[in-house]
Structure 1
Amino acid sequence: MEKVGILGGTFNPPHLGHLIIANEVMCSQGLDEVWFMPNQEPPHKEKSNAVSNSDRIEMLKLAVEGHPKFKLELIELERPGPSFTYDTMKLLKENYPQKQFYFIIGADMVEFLPKWHNIDKLLEMIAFIGVKRPSYNLQTSYPILYSEVPEMGISSSMIRKRLKEGRTVRYLVPDSIREYIKENRLYES
């Protein structure tokens, strides 16, 4: 059975931290692919309309191009309303019954697991893989796998802030994304 990691998020914008996490987890857990899944409305975050969904998709395409095992999964953008992982994974398992799914989450989401919608049913369908993030704890009573990844303090919100202030984001995002942001005047004040 093919093993697929799902890396969900707003990817607003996608950055090198996302790519490093995906690659490290794929290698350490023996995954066949990692699917980057931008969400519509994460239930745990306030809605941020900094850029359009089409811009986020284009930036993700640039982020994963050149890596044969990184794919885009747009299922959460194709349906309206909050993006509950349980509902999404139920659909993905119906659409791809031959695949075994692993949901990759940062330590910030590991701490949040008790509040996830239908968490007990979700744990029957998929396995979680947790990765460290600065200032968060990976401890939980839920059965999750762990992958060691280099810890970086890179976040999309930090990148948006830097861009709004006119500061550089070189080496924080791939050059192709940096050029896309510049050409399309995204995140400017």
Structure 2
Amino acid sequence: MGKRVGILGGTFNPPHLGHLIIANEVLFQLGLDEVRFMPAGTPPHKQLKGDTTSEQRKEMVLKAIEGHTGFVLEPIELQKEGPSYTYETVQLLVEREPDEEFHFIIGGDMIEYLPKWHKIEELSQLIQFVGVNRPGYKAESPYKVKMVEIPQIEISSTLIRDRIASGGTVTYLVPERVSDYIREEKLYGKG
């Protein structure tokens, strides 16, 4: 049997402490070997906000997870052209690493949308969904979702981008290395 791997996908625009807390809680509560942070290429349902490139988002993830032995970058979606569907990405991962047991981490807000996901039936056969609680959302789904209770930290990438654009503080919201990188690269409208 291979490793038990968590996959945390997102635009990570920018990555913040909420992402790190989710990954760490799932890693330890489910006894996984690692959690991979998988920055989205071009998500089919979301226009990327801000002026960041895929390369900059990748760099921010690397800076955010630096020093955590259980966290790894998974660049598979950044290497693909065109829109990325989770099913196609997971298929590639399973073909590349057939022995690994993949746990796909989703927020409580996404659980109710699972029936609308592209090729959800096939996808649910390939991976174990892991849901993390979000206030105000029911964790009910016709698909098998393993729930993990996490401390509620209401931080969003939108909040951070808005703070930076208006000259506000993001101290303790993003890792210091990420904050430094945002400043150096003059991202999100303030340098």
Q: Is the 8 A contact 1:134 1:153 kept in 2?
A: no
Runs of 4 or more above 6 Å deviation: none
The 5 Å alignment of 1:110-125 reads 110-125=111-126
- In structure 2, runs of 5+ residues without a counterpart are none
Superposition RMSD on alpha carbons, in Å? 1.1
State the aligned residue count.
189
Where 1:103 maps in the other structure, the secondary structure is strand
User: 1:134, 1:152 within 8 Å by CA — same for their partners in 2?
Assistant: no
Paired amino acid for 1:122: L
What CA distance in whole angstroms lies between the structure 1 residues aligned with 2:139 and 2:33? 25
* Residue 135 in structure 1 maps to residue 136 in structure 2: yes
Partners of 2:168 and 2:49 lie apart in 1 by 21
Distance 2:83 2:77 in 1: 9
TM-score after normalising by structure 2:
0.95
C-alpha deviations, 1:118-143, integer Å up to 9, x for none? 00000010010000123333222221
Q: Contact 2:132–2:147 at 8 Å: present in 1 too?
A: yes
User: Is 2:63 aligned against 1:62?
Assistant: yes
CA distance in 2, matches of 1:157, 1:133: 17
Correspondence for 1:85: 86
- Aligned pairs (5 A) from 1:1-189: 1=1, 2-188=3-189
Aligned counterparts of 1:110 and 1:44: Cα–Cα separation in 2: 16
Cα distance in 1 for partners of 2:82, 2:137 equals 28
CA contact (8 A) 2:50 2:188 kept: no
SS at match of 1:46: coil
Amino acid in the other structure paired with 2:169: T
Partner of 1:136, secondary structure, is coil
**In 2, distance between residues paired with 1:58 and 1:47?**
16
> Secondary structure of 1:187's match?
helix
Q: Whole-Å Cα distance in 2 between the matches of residues 137 and 45 of structure 1?
A: 23
Once the two structures are superposed, residues 144-166 of structure 1 have per-residue CA deviations (whole angstroms, 9 ceiling, x without a partner) of 10001111110111111111111
Kept in 2, the 8 Å contact 1:130–1:146? The answer is yes
**Aligned-residue offset at 1:49:** 4.9
Query: What SS is found at the alignment partner of 1:81?
Result: coil
Q: Distance in 1 between matches of 2:135 and 2:167?
A: 25
Amino acid at match of 2:186: R
Amino acid at match of 1:112: Y
